Amino acid sequence: MSLSDDLNPVQQEAVLETEGPLLVFAGAGSGKTRVLTYRIAYLVHEKRVPPWKILAVTFTNKAADEMKERVERLLGGSTKGAWISTFHSACVRILRRHIDHLGFKSNFVIYDEQDQDRHLKGIIKELGLDPKTFPPRKMLSAIDHLKNRGVSAEEYVPSEFNIFQKKLAQIYRLYQEDLRRNNALDFGDLLHFVTLLFRRFPEVLKFYQDLFHYVMVDEFQDTNLIQYELIRQIVNLHRNLCVVGDDDQSIYRWRGAEIGNILNFARDFPECKVITLEQNYRSTQNILQAANAMVSRNRFRKKKVLWTENPGGELLTFYTGEDEGDEARFVVKKIVEQCHPSPALTGLSETPDRVFRDIAVFYRINAQSRAIEDELVKNGIPYTIVGGMKFYERKEIKDVLAYLKWISNPSDGISLKRVINVPPRGIGEKTLEKIEALSREKGFSFYEGIRHALEERWFPPATHGKMEEFVRMMEELRKDREAFSLRQLTLAVLAQTGYLQRLKEEGTDEALSRVENIDELVNVITEFEQDGEGIPLESFLDKVSLMSDVDLYEDKKNRVSLMTLHCAKGLEFPIVFIIGIEEGVLPHHRRGEEIHDLEEERRLFYVGLTRAKERLFLSRAERRLTFGVGRVNPASRFLEELPEELIQYEIRREESRRHSSGEPEWSDSFWEEEKVVDMADAEIPLPAVDRIVLTPEGFMPLRIGMMVRHPKFGEGRVKAVEGMDENQKVIIFFQAVGSKRLKVRYANLEILE
DNA sequence: GTCTCTAACCTTTTT
DNA sequence: GGTTAGAGAC
């Protein structure tokens, strides 16, 4: 390790400034991780700080693992007990040790969003509230918000005149009570409880203050209030806190991230030193210039201008597709071109200079991946999706995990209720409700409730037998835990419960794919156990609960990567596509015109732009299917904010319409006439409609609310349009015969206005 | 209690 | 367009 060889002067300064608070503004691609890893290595190697006195927190496990790996490489050995982990896993580690202070047992389980949802629904029902006026998900996010601001159920004081708040207070209290009964914590609790622990038990706080002499926080712009408070509590003694972040890459405001944490850091730590890393090592001049121009439009930011010594590189390419299919064809055609350049196009190169793993496609929302996927499949290009429907969210996986969770913590009623009748055992909703009421009244966990009811012979005879059988089976599994390995335990669950057998009997394609997934889960568990540490069952469940989408991402396979812009943060690719540069998509219409929201959307775009090392392709579609309904989107306002001279517009041939079937999409005969034109020519006037309707003659502009005439039913008003293909239907209210749903193709409609 | 079919919701982003 | 929750039939 040689600081002067491996780091530029500013980076070196950030490494050497070890004492006291330090704020590092690290622009995209400026070597942020490098600084952090060298800093840790420097502390251990040069300043002889014992590794376990160092705490470094990140947001994803992937980032933590990467940091660990790089520190190990620098130190030529292990990280020897340095705490390098995510906020959440650090908190779990602390709570497993000290949570008894707060009246929980150390084998608590962590509820995910789905568990929370079920849990809260039960409470709303219990209170006799209408789920329509008090939607569980809205209540949940309100509770989460309170936790993120450090407000506990007992402390929350609702406004006396606000019915919503009053009910919220009631629900929040009951929700926490029930969690305690289940010995369970939700995501928000993990952080919140540690701050409570620190506040109420100074000796515990003292222990960690003494322990951590040096604290580092990565991606500081994404911390929320509670995370910041946690850090402040810990560093209050030694005050050796180094935070690294980039306000321009703050994209989690909607989840409570406080951009003020980084912008006002100097106010909380007046003695702090500020270092700004502005040299970019990742992107070409053109890419960087475009990104700079974009983000400089934001008003609420610390001014900085990234620069690079890299070559100018190629211009950004922009394509306007007819619809998302056309857009996808453009993307795939370009991918093929990059990976298999034909001699005619490149002049000389015979071998592809790019492989699939060099390429990533980013989008605003997950739903946009579909069109791209279809097109990639059609062309036999391997790809991987980061995020979206996750493995651990599949029903069968969650079922098996629920059994395991319960074995780990028999107080966990949510998991128990999930599987008590899976596969069907003749134990129904009503029985469960009775047990729940009984348990709540007596302060039992759900399982204790069942056992109590059995002893007292509360169940009707038929139910009694079934329940007895179930309890016997679960007790058996609980015993298995002592003697069995985690793998054996999982296999025992699958066999004893009849879960696997039931799926096999079903024999449908769906059931068989579930069996395959379960098979995969057993593989994962086996692997985990082999290089495992700690108690396998608990650590495995923790790992699964705290896993994020990006964590599953493996970059070793040679595949094109597809992901949302949010997932893209922290990654880089030689070639990047950003699709859907449209008003309503990016910026997304669910955000208002509020300046902070708009600026965050702009930052999101900025994050996407700065992931690219060499080439950047941007695109949009004039028409897009949302909810299976056609929609026309104008170009994003962000497009105009990119410097004109950095962009070349690629125009499409009119024939692309007939191209939806037949020949391979990228065949040279079709594309070779492409040319570069300027904006004026590329802009195609947009039809002023919000629904496009397909008729035998072609497209027909039909607006909702428009009056039309049908040959048989007479005059009517358009209420809705469904679909875009030849099966497209339209719902029309006719004065004569009422509402009708008609296939547009055959309806023979005539527009009246 | 179990299974099947319809209707509503959905899509912003996730540790 | 696709999934999922709730209603209705057996």
pLDDT over 80 (residue A132) = no
A594-to-A254, A597, A633 alpha-carbon distances in Å: 13, 5, 20
pLDDT, residue A80, reads: 75
Rounded Cα gap, residues A233 and A98, in angstroms: 16
Quick check: A592 CB within 7 A of strand C?
Answer: no
Amino acid present at A559: R
The pLDDT tens digits of the residues spanning A67-88 come to 999 999 998 877 778 999 999 9
Band (A352; pLDDT cuts 50, 70, 90): low
Distance from CA(A567) to C1'(B13), angstroms, rounded: 9
Band (A118; pLDDT cuts 50, 70, 90): confident
Distance from CA(A564) to C1'(B12), angstroms, rounded: 10
Would you tell me how many other CB atoms lie within 10 Å of the CB of residue A267? 9
Distance from CA(A123) to C1'(B5), angstroms, rounded: 29
Q: What angle in degrees, to the nearest 10, is found between the helix axes of A395-408 and A461-483?
A: 80
Distance from CA(A701) to C1'(C1), angstroms, rounded: 21
Rounded Cα gap, residues A157 and A162, in angstroms: 11
pLDDT over 60 (residue A753) = yes
pLDDT, residue A495, reads: 93
Distance from CA(A275) to C1'(C2), angstroms, rounded: 49
Residues 599-628 of A with CB under 7 A from strand B: 626-627
The pLDDT tens digits of the residues spanning A565-593 come to 999 999 999 999 999 999 989 988 888 77
The pLDDT tens digits of the residues spanning A592-624 come to 778 888 999 999 999 999 999 999 999 999 988
Tell me the backbone φ, ψ of residue A399, rounded to 5 degrees. -65, -50
**Active centre residues of A (catalytic):** 32-33, 218-219, 249, 611
Distance from CA(A750) to C1'(C5), angstroms, rounded: 39
Quick check: A131 CB within 7 A of strand C?
Answer: yes
Q: Bridge-partner residues for A721, per DSSP?
A: A730
Distance from CA(A606) to C1'(B11), angstroms, rounded: 22
pLDDT, residue A621, reads: 93
The two tokens of residue A547 are 């896993």
**In this structure, what DSSP letter does residue A321 have?**
E
pLDDT over 50 (residue A458) = yes
Quick check: A18 CB within 7 A of strand B?
Answer: no
Would you tell me how many other CB atoms lie within 10 Å of the CB of residue A477? 18
Residues 6+ apart with CB under 8 A from A124: A131, A134, A136, A139, A171
Quick check: A113 CB within 7 A of strand B?
Answer: yes
Determine which helix (DSSP H) or strand (DSSP E) holds A681, and give its type and residue range. Answer: helix A679-682
Q: What is the side-by-side order of every strand in the sheet holding A738-743? A: A738-743, A729-734, A714-722, A707-710, A750-751
pLDDT, residue A276, reads: 95
pLDDT, residue A516, reads: 84
Give which of A37, A620, A182 is closest to A371, Cα–Cα.
A620
Determine which helix (DSSP H) or strand (DSSP E) holds A672, and give its type and residue range. Answer: none
Rounded Cα gap, residues A528 and A332, in angstroms: 37
Determine which helix (DSSP H) or strand (DSSP E) holds A413, and give its type and residue range. Answer: helix A413-419
Farthest CA pair distance, chain A: 89
Band (A184; pLDDT cuts 50, 70, 90): very high
Quick check: A567 CB within 7 A of strand B?
Answer: yes
Rounded Cα gap, residues A749 and A14, in angstroms: 70
Rounded Cα gap, residues A386 and A405, in angstroms: 26
Mean pLDDT of all residues in A491-502:
91
pLDDT over 60 (residue A680) = no
Residue closest to B3 C1′ by Cα? A424
The two tokens of residue A142 are 């309100």
Tell me the backbone φ, ψ of residue A58, rounded to 5 degrees. -130, -175
Regarding beta strands A573-578 and A612-626, do their DSSP bridges make them parallel or antiparallel, or are they unpaired?
Answer: parallel
pLDDT, residue A389, reads: 60
pLDDT, residue A76, reads: 84
Helices assigned H by DSSP within A99-243? 113-126, 136-148, 163-181, 187-200, 202-211, 225-235
Judge if the upstream peptide bond of residue A461 is cis by omega within 30 degrees of 0. Answer: no
Band (A359; pLDDT cuts 50, 70, 90): very high
pLDDT, residue A726, reads: 52
Band (A674; pLDDT cuts 50, 70, 90): very low
**In this structure, what DSSP letter does residue A46 have?**
T
Rounded Cα gap, residues A625 and A590, in angstroms: 17
pLDDT over 90 (residue A554) = no
**In this structure, what DSSP letter does residue A224 have?**
B
DSSP string, A682-745: H--PPPS-S-EEEETTEEEE--TT-EEEETTTEEEEEEEEE-SSTT-EEEEEETTTEEEEEEHH
Quick check: A627 CB within 7 A of strand C?
Answer: yes
pLDDT, residue A700, reads: 62
Give which of A81, A85, A77 is closest to A61, Cα–Cα.
A85
| Helix/strand/coil for A746 | helix
The pLDDT tens digits of the residues spanning A521-547 come to 898 888 888 876 667 898 899 988 888
**In this structure, what DSSP letter does residue A426 have?**
S
Rounded Cα gap, residues A189 and A56, in angstroms: 21
pLDDT over 70 (residue A343) = no
Query: What are all long-range contacts of A436-444, with beta carbons under 8 Å and residues at least 24 apart?
Result: A436/A122, A439/A181, A439/A413, A440/A126, A440/A178, A440/A181, A443/A181, A444/A181
- Kindly report the pTM of this predicted structure: 0.81
Rounded Cα gap, residues A498 and A144, in angstroms: 37
pLDDT, residue A646, reads: 95
Quick check: A255 CB within 7 A of strand B?
Answer: yes
- CA of A727: nearest nucleotide by C1' is C1
Mean pLDDT of all residues in A291-318:
94
Quick check: A738 CB within 7 A of strand B?
Answer: no
Mean pLDDT of all residues in A623-635:
85
pLDDT, residue A52, reads: 93
Quick check: A365 CB within 7 A of strand B?
Answer: yes
Rounded Cα gap, residues A239 and A272, in angstroms: 10
Band (A697; pLDDT cuts 50, 70, 90): very low
Mean pLDDT of all residues in A36-60:
94
CB A693 within 8 A of CB A728: yes
CB A104 within 8 A of CB A183: yes
Judge if the upstream peptide bond of residue A587 is cis by omega within 30 degrees of 0. Answer: yes
Quick check: A546 CB within 7 A of strand B?
Answer: yes
Average pLDDT, chain A: 85
Q: Bridge-partner residues for A563, per DSSP?
A: A362
Distance from CA(A442) to C1'(C10), angstroms, rounded: 38
Q: What percent of chain A has pLDDT over 70?
A: 87
Mean pLDDT of all residues in A218-239:
94
Rounded Cα gap, residues A190 and A95, in angstroms: 8
> Which of the residue ranges A138-147, A694-703, A709-718 would you say has the lowest mean pLDDT?
A694-703
- CA of A148: nearest nucleotide by C1' is B15
pLDDT over 60 (residue A654) = no
pLDDT, residue A687, reads: 29
The two tokens of residue A425 are 């055992």
Quick check: A723 CB within 7 A of strand C?
Answer: yes
- CA of A728: nearest nucleotide by C1' is C1
- CA of A389: nearest nucleotide by C1' is C3
Protein-covered nucleotides of chain C (CB closer than 7 Å) are 1-2, 4, 6
Residue closest to B13 C1′ by Cα? A566
The two tokens of residue A430 are 């009503």
Band (A729; pLDDT cuts 50, 70, 90): low
Band (A44; pLDDT cuts 50, 70, 90): very high
CB A283 within 8 A of CB A576: no
pLDDT over 50 (residue A91) = yes
Mean pLDDT of all residues in A196-216:
95
Rounded Cα gap, residues A175 and A140, in angstroms: 10
Band (A727; pLDDT cuts 50, 70, 90): low
CB A656 within 8 A of CB A326: yes
In the structure, how many helices (H) and strands (E) does chain A have?
32, 24
pLDDT, residue A134, reads: 79
Helices assigned H by DSSP within A610-650? 637-641
Mean pLDDT of all residues in A406-432:
89
Q: Say if residue A446 is exposed, middle or buried (CB neighbours under 10 Å; 0-12, 13-18, 19+).
A: buried
Rounded Cα gap, residues A225 and A595, in angstroms: 21
Quick check: A254 CB within 7 A of strand B?
Answer: yes
Rounded Cα gap, residues A745 and A722, in angstroms: 12
Mean pLDDT of all residues in A396-424:
91
The two tokens of residue A286 are 């053109």
* Sign of the four-CA dihedral A297, A298, A304, A310: negative
pLDDT, residue A344, reads: 52
Torsion angle of C-alpha atoms A748, A750, A751, A753, degrees rounded to 10: -170
